[in-house]
Structure 1
Amino acid sequence: MVKETHIKPEIRVLGIDDSPLVSDKIMIVGAIMRGGEWLEGVLRTDITRDGFDATVRLSEMICGSKHYGQIRAVMLNGITFGGFNIVDLRELYERTRLPVIVIMREMPDMEKIKEALKNLSDPEGRYEMITRAGNIIKVQTIKRGKPIFIQAYGIEAQDAANIVQATSIHSRIPEPIRVAHIIATGVILGESKKRA
């Protein structure tokens, strides 16, 4: 089922990223941005490193927020958090009823991912969750420079691309993801990293 999304210039988007992997408990940060320009809220939860709780913990964080009714789309910085704690896009959409857009700087190398998963419990199940996340499409977010890649669930691919382009203001990475990354790394490391 694809949710029809009316894209307003000041659409509220929740960007989600994880903190650096410094322990078995990984902090997740959500940044709610209006139109890619204004930070309106920050959310936080924790997941287990290489665990299986990312989808549930993210959905609880989103649905439990006072901002929930205003959020129109969720952006994830990749499909895996805290190492290989994989987000099930379909389940996240069904739990939150919000379109989900995955942001990737590069096209994922599926063979390398498959090899890395061999070191974890249930590698086949994890790989299947990654492969059913949907088609990967290329999106040009700034006039010059490298494109990014996205996956989308609960929203038409073109609408997802339009939201990504509308919120990519200062770099090729959408502001909700960039801001969530800055907060997550700054809190854990004491200083933020530039690259989301």
Structure 2
Amino acid sequence: MDLDFHIKPEIRVLGIDDSALLNEKVMIVGTVFRGGDWMDGVLRSEITRDGLDATEVISTMIKNSRHYAQLRIVMLDGVTYGGFNVVDIEELYRETGLPVIVVMRAYPDFEKIRAALRHFSDGELRWEIIKKAGKIEKLVTEKNGTPIYIQKAGIGLKSAEKIVRLTSIRSNIPEPLRVAHLIATGIIFGESRGRA
């Protein structure tokens, strides 16, 4: 069920991104923000490169956090982490009780994704999880007119759009995701790089 609800300016949002794929274990970083202005905390865990543990690891990381009771939204940078370790956003919503918003800079190239998944013995399972994430919506955050794309679980489109706009204060990417990316790449490479 998708819900629209009142959104406070300092809504607690957890943005999660992964680090570079340098090892079998891939670090994921979560940043806890009040709206888009104030970072309250950082979470860290590890998932298996090209594994199927991202949903469980992220759920556990969230539920074991001291920030859990205050969190209202989880934001993901796409649905694939650590290569093709796919996050089941419906399952993540069910397990944590927190609505999930997926943010993508570009519309996914599903033909390339399908082709890559043919190299996995469980590629069909991964494809089903990707499809289950639902409809992809285009959104312009008004920062530079460049659209981003979102998917959602447990939240209505109007509320999801409002939260993405509220937290996108420096670019068209929400601050919790932008900062999670900076931290993850900075830890792995010694200096942040790339775009969230």
TM over 0.5: yes
Q: Percent identity over the alignment?
A: 60
Deviations 1:21-63 (A, max 9, x none): 0001000000001110111000011000000000000000001
**3-state secondary structure, aligned to 1:111:** helix
| Structure 1 residues not aligned, in runs of 5+ | none
> 2-side partners of 1:120 and 1:180: how far apart?
28
CA contact (8 A) 1:137 1:150 kept: yes
Name the structure 2 match of 1:25.
25
* Equivalent runs, 1:1-196 vs 2, <5 Å: 1-196=1-196
Q: CA RMSD in A?
A: 0.9
Count residues with an aligned counterpart: 196
Detail structure 1 runs of 4+ shifted over 6 Å in the superposition.
none
Instruction: Name the aligned partner's letter for residue 9 of structure 2.
Output: P
Of residues 170-179 and 117-126 in structure 1, the stretch that sits farther from structure 2 once superposed is 117-126
**3-state secondary structure, aligned to 1:150:** strand
| Structure 2 residues not aligned, in runs of 5+ | none
Q: TM-score, normalised by structure 2?
A: 0.98
> 1-side partners of 2:144 and 2:18: how far apart?
28
Instruction: Name the aligned partner's letter for residue 24 of structure 1.
Output: E
**3-state secondary structure, aligned to 1:139:** strand
> 2-side partners of 1:121 and 1:34: how far apart?
41
Residue 153 of structure 1 deviates from its aligned partner by: 0.3
CA contact (8 A) 1:17 1:180 kept: yes
Deviations 1:137-180 (A, max 9, x none): 01111243311000000000111011000000000100000000
**3-state secondary structure, aligned to 2:22:** coil
**3-state secondary structure, aligned to 1:112:** helix
